[in-house]
Structure 1
């Protein structure tokens, strides 16, 4: 940071002004102190000289005179000597202008103490300014980094402050910056996800809508269409309408779950009623394919869940198992309660799923290559996964081609 930019800060100008005031006050204080000290030295010299001169005039011995060079005389001696010398105009009222010795002492004191004060304050000032500059450089870095937050480009601030308020500030800003970056990244991800979601919805609705338009045109343009053909087209229209209704309803459920708009009524309750509710609408479909639908195990095991929503999730998984199991096959729902985890196994002896496709099975709108249900749009398993995870559960798939599939739904007890 250059000096011009540094002194644009009001704090820097204020600190400089305060140092200048302290310097001026210090020089004045040193001058006054030096003057007072010089006056005291002048007074001491006058008293000492008075005693020495008085001894000389009185004709005292040389040893007594020399002794008074380094010993102070008594008050009586000083007073008597001062009375004697005052008649010659040499007393305490003599000015500094007339006293060259004291003038020299005063000058030397000023020449020594004032430069020492100036050098000390200048060194102190530059040390303070250097530290202040370092703080301003760090603040400038903080400003640049926080300015990049709005674009999700916050860069971690490297601080060499191990403790104190600046260290806390940098630590807090780094934490906040990471949170902002993550939030913006999530928003970008959600935006892309929404874009794909809308694209998928458009694609899924396009086919049944096109079929409905075609059937409607055929019925309207062919007034003399045989009754049997008319019924056939109406049945197909009803099928497509049912497909659209199922799609829209499930999309609304997925959207509500992802938007956290659903409040699950979770409570500890047995799985028996939940499983019965899940298979109630699938019994007829299972009978049509002459399949055996088995429920076994510790069905009275209690786990914390929302009965209606878990039944919805299990129903989609069981429906998928029925669809991918051949006529005369077997679908088994088994409950195992462990000391920590209760697991629901949904097994079938169908065609199984390849390892490559297992990674896609829970993706929204993924439809298996061998799906035999024309109404299937690949949203059921995705919805089941969202519901189970919202209830703090877990779902995974074990499958092998030609040997069937097993979905495992797990809950902590």
Structure 2
């Protein structure tokens, strides 16, 4: 039981006690004054005196002389009165002692809670300043005290708050590091194409160039500007996806439309290297209905196909195969390119990651990362495995799983 509870309990005990004493005293006092008046009245009559001229003792003697009062009755009555008065005085003294004791205990408890409040303030300030250490909390010094259970609950809440703040702080620090890395990566990604464009422009300023050479440089600059434009667009899309500015709206759609749009969008680039794209769609009417954003899902498929074309030699083949599973649809993008080492399979979907064999291939390392983000927004998954032909590794297979509408 806490100190404050004890104080309240003592107070509730004292209230009926004092009330009973006061009631008793009032009754006895009333009887006493009635007895006094009656005795004085009868005594004055028998003694033929004025009532105001007699004392209570004289009146009792007169009445006793005439046999109106038994022996020792008056003295016994007076003793009762005296005892009652003594009890009243004693009870008052006891009540005063208890009241002083309770007041002192209230003060001690108040001081203890003031100490706790001050410690809470120090703890909250430490949390605000980032210097809080759970192992050094002053709350533990209160173990065994009457308010220990309440303080223990409060300590648990503050430790939980500290853990939450630590998680938020750690996340903020990670976000800060990631932002710094992103700025560094973007700077590096933009520096290369800008340097190429600058070099081409400086060559074009040479007045001794022939018309054919100038035309060739203009064509080269056009390719460089297009590559830079594509990189910037990819970076913008990534930024908008990660910040939630792009709202991918999932509606019922046919998977065939998204795949066909992706193939049409990449066809010219494949044709430049004489790469064929085979689409095994199992029949458009047999493809399952999925929840998708047609535009962005097509963008993901374009990035996967673009990656396959970049790492494939001329005259190769890329095939797309779709299989319906129980609750998912499986899309395989199979190429005959240079393949991906086992060590890199878990890294190729990272932002700006480029493999060891990609130095001779143009690219920024954002396509597959963007594809993974878009597919994740569709509640799907993407993975890569080796394309094995006649027991030999020949390119890669990108496998996408998307949920279907049951």
Answer whether TM exceeds 0.5 for this pair. yes
- My pick for the range that moved more, 211-220 or 155-164, is 155-164
Check whether the contact 1:265–1:305 (CA below 8 A) recurs between aligned residues. yes
Contact 1:332 1:348 (8 Å CA) reproduced: yes
- What is the CA distance between 1:145 and its match in structure 2? 4.6
Which residue does the alignment assign to 1:231?
215
Unaligned 5+ segments in structure 1 are 1-11, 51-79, 91-95
Is residue 2:40 matched to residue 1:39?
no
Q: Which residue of 1 aligns with 2:54?
A: none
The whole-number CA distance in structure 2 between the counterparts of 1:345 and 1:162 is: 63
Does the residue aligned with 1:404 lie in a helix, a strand or coil? strand
The separation in 2 between residues aligned to 1:328 and 1:185, in whole angstroms, is 51
1:359 pairs, out of 346, 350, 353, with 346
Closer, same or farther in 2 for the Cα pair 1:267/1:102, shift >3 Å?
A: same
Q: Cα 1:133–1:301, aligned 2, differ >3 Å: closer, same or farther?
A: farther
Q: How does 1:11-410 map to 2 (within 5 A)?
A: 36=26, 39=29, 84-85=63-64, 102-103=81-82, 105-111=84-90, 113-121=91-99, 124-125=102-103, 139-148=117-126, 150=128, 180-220=165-205, 222-298=206-282, 300-371=287-358, 374-399=361-386, 402-410=393-401
Q: Deviations over 1:180-205 (max 9, x none)?
A: 54444333322222221111111111
SS at match of 2:393: coil
Q: After the TM superposition, which of the residue ranges 367-376 and 249-258 deviates more from structure 2?
A: 367-376
Root-mean-square deviation (Å): 4.8
Determine the C-alpha separation between the residues in 2 that align with 1:323 and 1:212: 21
3-state SS of 2:399 partner: strand
User: 1:291 and 1:85 mapped to 2: Cα distance?
Assistant: 142
Task: State the shift of 1:317 in Å.
Answer: 0.7
Conserved in 2, the CA contact under 8 Å of 1:30 and 1:114? no
Change (3 A) 1:338 1:402: closer
Give the secondary-structure state (helix, strand or coil) at the position aligned to 2:334: strand
Contact 2:256 2:281 in 1 (8 A): no
Give the direction of change, closer, same or farther, for the CA distance of 1:106–1:187 in structure 2 (3 Å limit): same
Is there any run of 5+ residues in structure 2 with no aligned partner, and where?
41-58, 70-74
Q: Is the 8 A contact 1:353 1:405 kept in 2?
A: yes
Secondary structure, aligned partner of 1:281: helix
Q: CA deviation at 1:260?
A: 0.8
Matched pairs, number: 358
Counterpart contact for 2:25–2:84, Cα < 8 Å: no
CA 162–271 in structure 1, closer or farther in 2 if over 3 Å, else same:
farther
Counterpart secondary structure, 1:402: strand
Determine if contact 1:351/1:402 at 8 Å carries over to the other structure: no
Structure 1, 235-244 or 396-405: larger mean CA deviation: 396-405
- SS of the equivalent of 1:359 reads coil
Q: Contact 2:311–2:361 (CA<8 Å) still a contact in 1?
A: no
TM-score (norm 2): 0.70
CA distance in 2, matches of 1:372, 1:244: 17
